[in-house]
Every structure is written in structure tokens, then in C-alpha cells.
Amino acid sequence: MKYISTRGTAPVLDFRATMLTGLARDGGLYLPEHVPPMTQAEIAALAGQSYEDLAYAVMRPFIGAAFDDDTLRKLIARAYQGFDHPARAPMKQLAPNHFLLELFHGPTLAFKDFAMQLIGQFFQEALARSGQRVTIVGATSGDTGSAAIEAFRGLKNVDVFILFPHGRVSEVQRRQMTTPDDANVHALAIDGDFDTCQALVKDMFNDFAFRDAVALAGVNSINWARVLAQVVYYFSAGVSLGAPHRPVSFTVPTGNFGDIFAGYIARAMGLPIEKLVVATNHNDILHRALSSGGYVTDGVRPSISPSMDIQVSSNFERALFDAYGRDGAAVAQLMDELKSTGGFQISQGALEYLREAFASGCASEDQTRATIARIAADTGEVLCPHSAVGVHVAESHLSATPMITLATAHPAKFPDAVQAATGQRPPLPARMADLFDRPERVTRLGNDLTALQAHIRGKIPA
Ligand SMILES: *Cc1c(COP(=O)(O)O)cnc(C)c1O
């Protein structure tokens, strides 16, 4: 299996190199040259399998020679053993034809554990064999950072540096990043907002001398291996509701478009998905783009679903690549226009292509709070604000086809918003109950690339 860049000029890579690289050197994102199809019979055979066996069947064709069959099975088993539910991604029913896929039973209580725990295992295995050492850097608005730290803590051959905006993450999120005491974990509180952190990370990747000297690796949601890991639960949910014999639809609370793009890959592989519904909060650039064709940035407004407070939705580039007939030059031109003018117009043909697979909607802050309260009262299910955005949008897209809404985080990760909506403070799961007693370890840095690079060089083995 070969991987190509959405901007057409970066080297073609195999799975291993694609995973270790993250961002392509032409600024694009990697995608498989061909999406390997699954037959109806192969999809039907997934019914009743364990999450781990199903993950193996779905991911095997993408991984090529990077891992042999037994190794891949072993890495998948290790990745999901720390989840506290035997189904890994259990489903609940909310209404006659509306289901909730709970993706928050991993170690840091958000769906990002599904991908991050797996790529932690993948990195460790790949690096142990080659004796290479890498430096992982990532920017986070909260959930990515804690998931990455939990996945890479204590691993050999890896140092992990996570930049988060000082004072702008929830206390639970901050403590999940600052309390692991492993020597290879480095939590960095940056003076600025999430965009400041993300810009610093991008600048480090674009400084090729630094990038090569410290063997920089990226694990944010543009890393193809993360998208691949997320394809699996679309299959597990779909077959449990009767696919491939019956179609299903999904609604996905969306920020960087990584999670929903995994659904698009599942659909391309042959899972009968009628619609993939993009659900956004009041930062609704994706909803506006799919409605009007204009992809125009207009500043981030904070919300009670902060993991979806984004200005530029990185993984949307992957969908655009297909919508423009896999023309890397056309995508590069759109991205240049975005950079210089703050937006671009999607062509009519590309828009029609996108609308065949995707629908969209958004939820205001009031609608989000009202949904948390109503669903708790009606069903007993306590939603986090991100999941509530999904449920609100899904409710206006219900049809005869079963709708599955993705619940992306545990309510205890956002206790203030949930308490404001329901009057009840959601308790942390027992295994995390001492989070507020553990000592914190964090370095505060300014918005200064040179100082940051010096700090990183000083922390990693020469
Ligand atoms: C990251 C995150 C999202 C958005 O996922 P994308 O892949 O960026 O679209 C939604 N909800 C929660 C809780 C998250 O942590």
C-alpha cells in the first residue's frame, strides 16, 4: 500500500513512513493511493466479532509490510486492553431509530484514545526494530494532548512534548497532561491561545534543519494512522445494526474533520453509509461551506464544546482532494488562497461530490445545553457538550435509516457545562478519582519559537 500527498509533490511513502512523518513535506496530508474495498461477504463476516478481531480485519490491508499478522494482532490487543468496557465502543439507544456510539471508555475519556493508544503501540514497535528515536510534538486544546501523553508515556525511543494554551483548558484536561511522572513526558503551557500553539508546532515542522535534527514526528489528527484507527468503529457500529444488509447513517461532532473523514473511508471501503452528518457548534465553518460552497474563516468564538473550537479544519483537505478528482495542484491552489485571503470557493462539481456523502448542521450554545438536559431527563444518558451538539444535529436528520451519533467524550471531562445543564456534577470514573491529588509537572513558555526549540533540544538525549 502506497500513500500520496493531497498536494501532489511530496515523496510517495509506505505505511510506516507515513505514520512516522505526519505532515507531508509539501504541506499536504497523506492518503492511500487506493482505498481497498471490502466485499459484502467480508463485511457480513464482521458481525459478532470482538472489537480487536474486527479492527484487525478492517486495518490489515492498509498496513502492508509494516507489521506481520501476529505482530499487528498483538499491538491491537495491547492498545485496547486499558479500555474499561469489554465492547470498547458500546452502543446505546436514544430513540426508536437513533443510537449513541460511546467512544469514551478509554484511559483519557475521549474518542482520541482509540487512535492514540494504537499509534503508541505502532510507534514503539516500529522504532524498537530500527533503533531510531523520535521527538513527538503536538498542540492541543485539551483532549489530543492528554490522549497522546497517556499513549506514549514511559515508551522507549520517544519523547513527547505537548503544547497547550496556558489557562485555557479545563482543570481535568490540564491535570491529565501534567500529572504523569514519566521522564519522557513534557507538558508545556504556552502564553497564547490554541492557534498560537498550533502555529509553533507548524513552524517547527517547516524548519527542516530542526525537524531532521530531532527527528520530529507528529501525532495530531492529520496523521493517517489516526484516521485509520477510527475507521474501525464505523464498521463495528454499522454491522451491529445490520450492515451490510441494511444501510446506516452517522452524525459526528466535528472540529478538524478527522473523525468524520474516517467514516468517509469506511464508506469508500463498502460499508453502506447513507449520510455522514457533520455537526458543529457555533464555530460552523464546515456547515457554512457545505451549505453555500464558501469556505471562509471568521475567527474562533469560545464555546462549551472547546475541542471543536477551530478556525481551519485541517482534514477537510483530504475530502477536497477526492472532490477535485485527486488533483494535487488544484488543492495546493485552494490552500494558498486560504492562506492569503482567508477563504476560497468550492467549485460546483466538487460541492456536488461532497454533498453526495455529507450533510451538515450546527448547534448554538443554548441548543447544546437544552439537549444535555432533555436527553438526561428522557433517557438517563448524560452527554458531554460535544456529543450533545451531535445529538441536536442528528435529530433534524432522522429518517427510516438508523442514525448513529458519535459520543466523543465522557461527561466528567466537562463537568461545569454538564452541571450547568443538568444540575448534577458528573463524577470521574473510579480509576481516575485521585486525579486532583497527584502532583503536577509543567513548564511555562512564551510564544517564542527559538526558546521552545532550545528547550526541546535540552530535554532530549544528544
Ligand atoms: C477532538 C474532538 C472532537 C473533534 O474531532 P475531529 O476529529 O477534530 O473532528 C470532538 N469531540 C471531542 C470530545 C474531541 O476531543
Structural domains in the chain plus CATH codes: 91-106+225-422 (3.40.50.1100)
- Residue 394 CB–ligand 1 contact under 6 Å: no
Which of 15-24, 353-362, 402-411 is least confident? 15-24
160 CB contacts (<8 Å, ≥6 apart)?
136, 137, 138, 148, 149, 152, 153, 184, 185, 186
pLDDT tens sequence across 168-210: 888 899 999 999 999 999 999 999 988 889 889 989 988 999 9
Considering the chain, what is the average pLDDT of its residues?
A: 95
For residue 287, the CA-to-ligand 1 centroid distance in Å is: 16
Q: Are 133 and 167 spatial neighbours (Cβ–Cβ below 8 Å)?
A: no
For residue 399, the CA-to-ligand 1 centroid distance in Å is: 25
In this prediction, residue 83 carries a pLDDT of 97
Q: How far from 317 is each of 53, 148, 332, 334, 384, CA to CA, in Å?
A: 31, 23, 9, 9, 28
- Residue 411 CB–ligand 1 contact under 6 Å: no
Of all protein residues, whose CA lies closest to atom 14 belonging to ligand 1?
Answer: 307
For residue 406, the CA-to-ligand 1 centroid distance in Å is: 10
pLDDT at 390 over 90: yes
- Residue 258 CB–ligand 1 contact under 6 Å: yes
Provide the pLDDT confidence category of residue 447 given band limits of 50, 70 and 90. Answer: very high
In this prediction, residue 222 carries a pLDDT of 85
pLDDT at 233 over 80: yes
For residue 86, the CA-to-ligand 1 centroid distance in Å is: 23
Q: Could you tell me what percentage of the chain is helix, strand and coil, using 3-state DSSP and rounding each to the nearest 5?
A: 45, 15, 35
Give the CA diameter of the chain: 60
Atom of ligand 1 nearest to the CA of 230: 7
39 CB contacts (<8 Å, ≥6 apart)?
270
Q: At CA 230, angle to CA 224 and CA 236, rounded to 5?
A: 145
Q: Is beta strand 158-165 parallel, antiparallel or unpaired with respect to 98-102?
A: unpaired
In this prediction, residue 311 carries a pLDDT of 81
Of all protein residues, whose CA lies closest to atom 8 belonging to ligand 1?
Answer: 256
pLDDT at 312 over 90: no
The residues annotated with a catalytic role in the active site are: 112
In this prediction, residue 393 carries a pLDDT of 98
In this prediction, residue 264 carries a pLDDT of 98
34 CB contacts (<8 Å, ≥6 apart)?
none
36 CB contacts (<8 Å, ≥6 apart)?
1, 61, 62, 269
Provide the pLDDT confidence category of residue 120 given band limits of 50, 70 and 90. Answer: very high
In this prediction, residue 193 carries a pLDDT of 85
Provide DSSP, 228-253: HHHHHHHHHHHHHTTTTTS-EEEEEE
Query: How far apart are the two ends of the chain, measured CA to CA in Å?
Result: 34
- Residue 281 CB–ligand 1 contact under 6 Å: no
pLDDT at 433 over 90: no
Q: How far is it, in rounded angstroms, from Cα 272 to Cα 99?
A: 17
Across 151-178, average pLDDT: 93
Closest CA to 229 of 70, 410, 51, 391: 51
pLDDT tens sequence across 25-56: 898 999 999 999 999 999 999 999 999 999 99
- Residue 386 CB–ligand 1 contact under 6 Å: yes
Q: What is the CA 44 to chain-centroid distance, rounded?
A: 27
- Residue 221 CB–ligand 1 contact under 6 Å: yes
The C-alpha cell at 107 is: 484511559
pLDDT at 298 over 90: no
In this prediction, residue 432 carries a pLDDT of 86
Q: Are 230 and 257 spatial neighbours (Cβ–Cβ below 8 Å)?
A: no
- β-bridge mates for residue 294, sequence order: 345
In this prediction, residue 30 carries a pLDDT of 97
In this prediction, residue 385 carries a pLDDT of 98
Placement of cell 437544552 in the chain: 370
The amino acid present at 447, given as its one-letter code, is N
For residue 69, the CA-to-ligand 1 centroid distance in Å is: 31
Q: φ, ψ for residue 60 (rounded to 5)?
A: -45, -50
